[in-house]
């Protein structure tokens, strides 16, 4: 029997119960799956009409297993954690103070740099097998990767006292680099998806819907890492704070979008897996389930980090702890995660 690390529940009418050290999922009285608590990392509820018992909440809290709720479009709705995870003080005081000095600006620039470098690296990675078969396309995409990297000089030239004084400039550089990146992605797609380019809100095509849904899953993993590191997910630096917006989650996510979600979704499409939408332009239940499994499996993939190899999920956690140490003054600088290609 396969070990279940990430329990995904998306069928309408499902009920999650605790039974003898396991979580049991049933629907209309029929058992769907049982997952031992000892192996579980997360519970992901992605469908409507799903209910669970208070025993499940208590058992997951005791075991440190978060329960995440996503909408059908991948938007985070809520997460349940053990209450003690929000009880840290020293790290959060340092986090709030950093918004008013150079530490916040340093972090924002490192995240923007990582996103730009990772976008260029993913374009290079995805195009390398086209070098012999499609040399013209290979050269075109490699040129776009170089143009993405050209924005780094402008980013490093941004000077200021605080992140608030420089946020607009940083986001402008990041946005212009992203335009080149998504142009490169469009050229590398093998399937004829009639892709309109990158869309976030209101996406009505399968690729953008899949990207948005994949990012939603990644947000839950990053939020968990930040909480375990003692940080406040709602007090960010690069992304502006708004009520209900986990801006620090969006900050740290920038390091991992390409390695976890973009690479996975593009590979799914280029291997011929069909992503289907319902009448409301949402991924169907089958497509959501398949995509969630692929993204969560990618999080378990081992990558190079600090001279050793670790699962990406562990790297996210280590980056959150590295950020916390930097904010507390225990590290001189913060180094973002870069995708190898």
Q: Any idea what the CATH number is for the domain that residue 303 is in? A: 1.20.120.920
Sequence-ordered list of residues with C-beta below 8 angstroms from that of 148, at least 6 positions apart, any chain: 116, 119, 120, 123, 177, 180, 181, 184
Which pLDDT tens digits describe the chain residue by residue (341 residues)? Answer: 578 888 989 889 999 999 989 999 999 889 999 999 988 888 999 878 999 999 999 998 888 888 999 887 888 888 888 876 655 789 999 999 999 999 999 999 999 999 999 999 999 999 999 999 999 999 999 999 999 999 999 999 999 999 999 999 999 999 999 999 999 999 999 877 788 899 888 788 999 999 999 999 999 999 999 998 999 999 999 999 888 889 999 999 999 999 999 999 999 999 989 899 998 888 998 999 999 999 999 999 999 998 999 999 999 999 999 999 999 999 999 999 999 88
- Is 179 inside any structural domain? yes
Q: Are residue 135 and residue 202 in the same domain, yes or no?
A: yes
Among the three residues 49, 65, 81, which one is the final residue of a domain in this structure?
Answer: 65
Q: Are residue 103 and residue 188 in the same domain, yes or no?
A: yes
Report how far residue 341's alpha carbon sits from residue 259's, in angstroms, rounded to the nearest whole number.
10
Q: Give the number of other Cβ atoms within 10 Å of residue 251's Cβ.
A: 24
- Is 339 inside any structural domain? no
Q: Are residue 57 and residue 97 in the same domain, yes or no?
A: no
- Is 158 inside any structural domain? yes
Q: Give the number of other Cβ atoms within 10 Å of residue 36's Cβ.
A: 13
DSSP-derived 3-state class of residue 31: strand
- Is 80 inside any structural domain? no
Q: Are residue 40 and residue 173 in the same domain, yes or no?
A: no
- Is 76 inside any structural domain? no
Q: Are residue 182 and residue 54 in the same domain, yes or no?
A: no
Report how far residue 98's alpha carbon sits from residue 319's, in angstroms, rounded to the nearest whole number.
17
Please count the structural domains in the chain. 2
Report how far residue 25's alpha carbon sits from residue 47's, in angstroms, rounded to the nearest whole number.
13
Q: Are residue 106 and residue 32 in the same domain, yes or no?
A: no
Q: In which domain, by residue range, is 60 found?
A: 6-65
Q: Are residue 195 and residue 61 in the same domain, yes or no?
A: no
Instruction: Output the CA angle 129-148-262, nearest 5 degrees.
Output: 55
Q: Are residue 143 and residue 271 in the same domain, yes or no?
A: yes
Q: Are residue 164 and residue 231 in the same domain, yes or no?
A: yes
Q: Give pTM, 2 decimals.
A: 0.87
- Is 263 inside any structural domain? yes
- Is 83 inside any structural domain? no
Q: Are residue 24 and residue 139 in the same domain, yes or no?
A: no
- Is 78 inside any structural domain? no
CATH value at residue 47 = 3.100.10.20
Report how far residue 218's alpha carbon sits from residue 235's, in angstroms, rounded to the nearest whole number.
18
Q: Are residue 175 and residue 308 in the same domain, yes or no?
A: yes
Q: Are residue 155 and residue 215 in the same domain, yes or no?
A: yes
């Amino acid at each position: 029997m396969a070990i279940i690390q990430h329990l995904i529940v998306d069928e309408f009418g499902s009920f999650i119960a605790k039974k003898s050290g396991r979580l049991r999922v049933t629907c209309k009285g029929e058992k769907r799956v049982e997952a031992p608590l000892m192996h579980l990392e997360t519970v992901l509820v992605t469908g409507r009409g799903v209910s669970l018992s208070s025993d499940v909440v208590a058992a997951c809290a005791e075991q440190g297993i978060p329960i995440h709720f996503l909408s059908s479009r991948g938007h985070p709705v809520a997460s349940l954690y053990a209450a003690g995870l929000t009880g840290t003080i020293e790290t959060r005081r340092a986090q709030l103070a950093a918004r008013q000095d150079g530490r916040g600006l340093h972090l924002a620039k490192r995240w923007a740099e990582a996103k730009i470098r990772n976008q260029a690296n993913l374009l290079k990675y995805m195009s390398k097998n086209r070098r012999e078969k499609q040399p013209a396309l290979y050269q075109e995409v490699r040129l776009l990767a170089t143009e993405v990297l050209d924005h780094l000089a402008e980013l490093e030239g941004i000077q200021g006292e605080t992140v608030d004084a420089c946020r607009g400039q940083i986001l402008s550089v990041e946005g212009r680099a992203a335009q080149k990146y998504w142009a490169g992605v469009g050229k590398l797609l093998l399937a004829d998806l009639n892709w309109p380019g990158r869309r976030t809100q209101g996406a009505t095509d399968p690729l953008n819907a899949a990207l948005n849904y994949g990012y939603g899953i990644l947000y839950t993993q990053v939020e968990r890492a930040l909480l375990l590191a003692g940080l406040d997910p709602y007090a960010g630096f690069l992304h502006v704070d708004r009520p209900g917006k986990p801006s620090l989650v969006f900050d740290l996510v920038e390091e991992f979008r390409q390695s976890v979600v973009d690479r996975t979704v593009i590979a799914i499409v280029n291997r011929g897996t069909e992503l289907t939408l319902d009448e409301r332009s949402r991924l169907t239940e089958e497509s959501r389930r398949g995509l969630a499994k692929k993204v969560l499996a990618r999080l378990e993939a081992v990558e190079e980090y600090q001279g050793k190899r670790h699962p990406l999920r562990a790297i996210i956690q280590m980056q959150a702890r590295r950020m916390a140490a930097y904010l507390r003054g225990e590290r001189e600088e913060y180094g973002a995660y870069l995708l190898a290609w």
